Copies of this chain bind each other. A is one copy, B any other.
C-alpha cells in the first residue's frame, strides 16, 4: 500500500472559498490580491498517517495547512522521537532558510494543504512585502510557542506537562470549560510531544480524571471540567 490517496493534480488552487485564509499567510493580502497566491498554489491532500516530507529532504516546497492536523517531529538514529508541534489550519510549514527540511511532517488526521514552490513564494514576497511581514509574524509566534515548550520539557513534571498541553490546545482552539475538545492525536503522539512515555501520559490522564479536573468522553476527546484547578496543575 504505497500509493498516495487523492494527492496528485498539479491543478491550480481556488482560494476563494478557503476557510484557512484569514488566519494564514494569504490573509496578509488584500482580497483583490489573493489571486496572485492561487496562481502559485497547488492544493494537496494527505491521508492520516502519511508523510508530507521527511527531515533531510530537499526543502523545495513550503506549505500552508488548510484542513486537518499535522505533526512535526525529529528522530534520533535509535528511534527516539520528539514531536515539536501539532499544526492546525492557517499554520505555515517549511519555514527555514536551509537547503533541507530539519524535521519531518506527518498527517495526524486527513489533511489538506497548499503547496508553494519556495522559489515562487520568494519571488512573490519581493513583490508583496506584506507576505514577508505576515510570515515573520507567524514565525515569531512559533518561536514564542517553542520557548514555552522548552520550559515545559526542561522543568515541568508529568502532571504539569499534561495540564499545560490541554490548556494550550483549549486556548488555541477557543474551547471553553465544559465543552468537549477533540484530541485527534494518539497517546503515543502526546507522549512524544511532552517528552514522556505512553504509560506516564495514560496515568496522568487517569489521575486528572479521578480528580475531576477533566472528563474523557472517549479516547479522542477531553472536556476541561475544572479550569482553575487545571491551570493550577499546570504550574504557571
**Which A residues contact B (CB, under 8 angstroms)?**
72, 74, 76-78, 80-82, 84, 95-98, 102-103, 125-126, 129, 132-133, 135-137, 139-144, 146-151, 153-156, 192, 194-195, 235-236
Contact = CB atoms under 8 A, between A and B. Distances in A.
A23 to B, nearest CB: 14
Contacts of A151: 74, 76, 82, 84
Nearest to A161: B154
Tell me if A's interface is mostly helix, strand, loop or mixed. helix
25 contacts: A72-B147, A74-B147, A74-B148, A76-B151, A76-B236, A77-B235, A77-B236, A78-B235, A81-B155, A82-B151, A95-B140, A95-B143, A96-B140, A97-B140, A102-B148, A132-B132, A136-B139, A139-B143, A142-B143, A143-B143, A146-B146, A146-B147, A146-B150, A153-B153, A154-B195
Nearest to A191: B154
B82 A155 contact: yes
Contacts of A102: 144, 147-148
Nearest to A145: B146
Contacts of A76: 151, 155-156, 235-236
Contacts of A135: 136
Nearest to A101: B144
